[in-house]
C-alpha cells in the first residue's frame, strides 16, 4: 500500500509540474489554469498531495480548471510565495503556519510548545470549529484558507546525550529564524542560535552548535542524525501547514461557475487527508532509518513532559484574555 501511495502522485507530477511542458496539448483548452507553488521536492508528501489535488480538480470540473504545480521552490521561498499569493501573482500554495504567522499573528497560538497532548488532539482541534475559524479568518492576511496539512512533531537532537530538561541547559540549539522559537529554547534553559537550515549539518559537524530541533523526516534526510546521534523525542511543537489560495483566483473561479468554488474547497480537503496518510508513512520510515543507524532515542516520561510544560508556561501567560480563552478551548478539545 505504501508503495502505491508513493508512485501514484509521482506519475501525476510528470504531467503537472511546471517544467514539464504545457498543461494540455490537445482537446479543449481549460478556462482557467491555477499556478500552485510548493518549496519541497517532487516526492514530498505536500507536493504529492498537491498533485492529487490537481487531478481531482481537473476531473470534477471536466477539464475547465487545471492546476499547474511548481515544486522545489521554483516560484520562490515560502515568504516570497505567500506575498505573491496575497497579491494574486500565484494562485495557490502550501505554507507553514510559522511563515503565515507574520501577516496573521493570531495563528501563532497554534505553534505554542506542548499545546497538544498528541497528534489526535491536534487534528480534533484543526478539523473542528477552531480550525475552521482559523481558515476563515485567514482572509485577514489577504488569502483564502482551504485545508490543513501535516508537518509532524518537532523534537530535539544533539551531539551529546540528552535525556531530559536538565541536559538541555547550557546547550546551543539551532532554531528557525523566529523570535518565538528562540523564546521557547531560552525558557528550556538552552541558548538559541538562528542559522539557515542548509547550514545546520556543517554547524553540527564543526561543533558550532550542540544540537537542533526538527521532525523525523528532516532529521533523517538531511543527514543530521549522522552528526547528532542523540534524539530527545519530546515533541515540543506540532506545526500544521495551511493550503491557501489567492482572493484573485477565488474571484476568477466564481466568475466561471460558483459551483466550482465548492469543488475546489472539497478537493483541497480531500487532498489534505491524503497528505496526512503520506506523512504518517514517511514519518515512520524516517524514524526507522535513524534507529537502524544506531541513533539513541529517548522518550519523555509523564513527569518529564510536565516539567517541560511548566518551563514554557510563561509563553502562555503573555497573551491577552481573549487569546487565553482560545488557548483553553484548544487544550480542552
* pLDDT interval class at 18 (50, 70, 90): low
Count CA atoms within 13 Å of residue 113 on its CB side.
29
Residue 196 confidence (pLDDT) = 85
Percentage of the chain modeled with pLDDT above 70: 92
Q: Cell numbers for 291, please give them.
A: 534507529
pLDDT of residue 3: 39
CA distance linking residue 123 with residue 93, whole number of Å: 21
Position 177 pLDDT exceeds 50: yes
Identify the CA nearest to 165 among candidates 301, 318, 316, 314.
Answer: 301
144 Cβ neighbours under 8 A, 6+ residues apart: 138, 244, 245, 246, 247, 249, 250
Q: What is the DSSP letter of 223?
A: S
pLDDT for 19:
46
Tell me: pLDDT of 9 over 60.
no
276 pLDDT higher than 50: yes
Helix (H, G, I), strand (E, B) or coil at 129: helix
- How far is it between the farthest Cα atoms of the chain? 65
Mean model confidence pLDDT for the chain? 91
Give residue 27's pLDDT.
Answer: 53
Q: What pLDDT is stored for residue 41 in this prediction?
A: 87
pLDDT tens string 44-86: 899 999 999 999 999 999 999 999 999 999 999 888 999 999 9
Strand order from edge to edge, sheet including 153-158? 191-194, 172-175, 211-214, 153-158, 230-238, 296-299
Cα angle value 286/333/150 (rounded, 5°) = 25
- DSSP letters spanning 21-62: S-S--SSSPPSEEEEEE-SS-TTSHHHHHHHHHHHHHHHHTT
- The helix/strand/coil state of 218 is helix
pLDDT confidence of residue 6: 44
**pLDDT tens per residue, range 129-175:** 999 999 999 999 999 999 999 999 999 999 999 999 999 999 999 99
pLDDT digits (tens, 9 = 90+) for 184-203: 999 999 999 998 888 999 99
Q: For the segment 205-264, what is each residue's pLDDT rounded down to a tens digit?
A: 999 999 999 999 999 988 999 999 999 999 999 989 999 999 999 999 999 999 999 999
296 has pLDDT over 90: yes
Q: Indicate whether 11 pLDDT > 50.
A: no
pLDDT digits (tens, 9 = 90+) for 101-125: 888 989 989 999 999 999 999 999 9
How much is the pLDDT for 28? 73
**Predicted confidence (pLDDT) per residue in 27-45, tens digit:** 578 999 999 999 888 888 9
Amino acid at each position: 500500500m505504501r508503495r502505491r501511495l508513493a508512485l501514484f502522485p509521482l506519475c501525476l507530477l510528470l504531467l503537472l509540474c511546471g517544467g514539464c511542458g504545457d498543461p494540455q496539448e490537445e482537446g479543449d483548452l481549460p478556462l482557467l489554469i491555477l499556478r500552485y507553488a510548493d518549496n519541497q521536492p517532487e516526492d514530498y508528501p505536500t507536493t504529492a498531495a498537491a498533485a492529487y489535488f490537481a487531478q481531482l480538480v481537473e476531473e470534477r470540473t471536466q477539464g475547465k480548471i487545471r492546476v499547474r504545480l511548481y515544486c522545489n521552490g521554483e516560484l520562490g521561498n515560502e515568504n516570497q510565495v505567500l506575498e505573491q499569493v496575497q497579491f494574486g501573482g500565484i494562485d495557490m500554495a502550501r505554507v507553514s503556519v510559522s511563515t503565515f504567522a507574520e501577516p496573521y499573528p493570531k495563528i501563532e497560538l497554534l505553534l505554542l510548545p506542548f499545546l497538544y497532548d498528541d497528534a489526535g488532539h491536534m487534528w480534533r482541534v484543526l478539523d473542528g470549529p477552531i480550525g475552521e475559524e482559523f481558515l476563515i479568518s485567514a482572509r485577514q492576511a489577504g488569502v483564502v484558507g482551504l485545508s490543513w496539512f501535516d508537518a509532524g512533531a518537532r523534537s530535539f537532537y544533539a551531539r551529546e546525550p540528552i535525556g531530559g530538561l536538565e541536559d538541555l541547559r547550557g546547550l546551543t540549539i539551532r532554531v528557525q529564524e523566529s523570535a518565538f522559537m528562540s523564546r521557547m529554547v531560552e525558557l528550556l534553559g538552552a541558548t538559541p542560535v538562528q542559522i539557515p537550515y542548509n547550514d545546520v549539518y556543517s554547524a553540527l559537524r564543526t561543533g558550532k552548535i550542540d544540537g537542533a530541533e526538527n521532525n523525523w523526516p528532516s532529521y533523517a534526510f538531511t543527514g543530521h542524525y549522522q552528526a547528532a546521534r542523540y534524539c530527545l523525542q519530546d515533541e515540543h511543537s506540532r506545526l500544521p501547514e495551511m493550503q491557501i489560495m489567492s482572493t484573485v483566483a477565488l474571484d476568477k473561479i466564481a466568475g466561471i461557475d460558483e459551483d466550482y468554488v465548492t469543488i475546489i474547497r472539497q478537493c483541497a480537503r480531500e487532498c489534505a487527508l491524503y497528505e496526512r496518510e503520506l506523512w504518517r508513512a514517511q514519518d515512520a520510515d524516517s524514524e526507522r532509518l535513524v534507529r537502524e543507524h544506531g541513533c539513541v532515542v529517548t522518550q519523555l516520561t509523564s513527569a518529564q513532559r510536565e516539567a517541560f510544560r511548566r518551563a514554557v508556561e510563561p509563553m502562555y501567560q503573555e497573551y491577552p484574555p481573549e487569546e487565553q480563552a482560545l488557548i483553553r478551548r484548544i487544550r480542552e478539545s
